[in-house]
Structure 1
Amino acid sequence: MMVPVRCFTCGNVVGEHWEAFDERANEGGEDPQEVLDDLGVDRFCCRRMLVSHTDLVDVVSPYQ
């Protein structure tokens, strides 16, 4: 659904990086590894939160 605010494993805030990551990696065509390095997301658990997230808000919202 929506990107989690905090990492499930370590509790660091990852939600603040979602918009920049989505714009640069998914829409801009940059390498996700370089984008995460540039944003300062260093831990593997936090990186997987952003890389593996699928934004389904637009798909599910008509059914509520």
Structure 2
Amino acid sequence: MMVPVRCFTCGNVVSEHWEAYKSRVEDGEDPAAVLDDLGVERHCCRRMLVSHTDLVDVVAPYQ
């Protein structure tokens, strides 16, 4: 589905980093280096971005 707005564990906003993270990883950059560069330091917040699967385009036709 859509990327969560906040981290489930600590409550920090993580959705603001999703587009930059997604595009840079698709261009071939290392995910850990991208998260470091974006300033996402906590492990729980990093988990939210690394483990997210974007299914909006798959589910949207069925709504």
TM-score, structure 1 as length reference: 0.97
Unaligned runs of 5+ in 2: none
Q: Give, in angstroms, the shift of residue 31 of structure 1.
A: 0.2
Q: Which residue of 2 aligns with 1:33?
A: 32
C-alpha RMSD of the superposition: 0.3
2:43 matched to 1:44? yes
Aligned positions, number? 63
The residue matched to 2:46 in structure 1 has which SS?
helix
Unaligned runs of 5+ in 1: none
Q: What is the aligned-residue identity percentage?
A: 83
Q: Separation in 2 of the partners of 1:52 and 1:29?
A: 17
Q: How does 1:1-64 map to 2 (within 5 A)?
A: 1-25=1-25, 27-64=26-63
TM-score, structure 2 as length reference: 0.99
Structure 2: which amino acid aligns with 1:9? Answer: T
Q: Give, in angstroms, the shift of residue 34 of structure 1.
A: 0.1
| Superposition misfits of 4+ residues, deviation over 4 angstroms | none
Q: Separation in 1 of the partners of 2:56 and 2:13?
A: 20
Structure 1: which amino acid aligns with 2:39? Answer: G
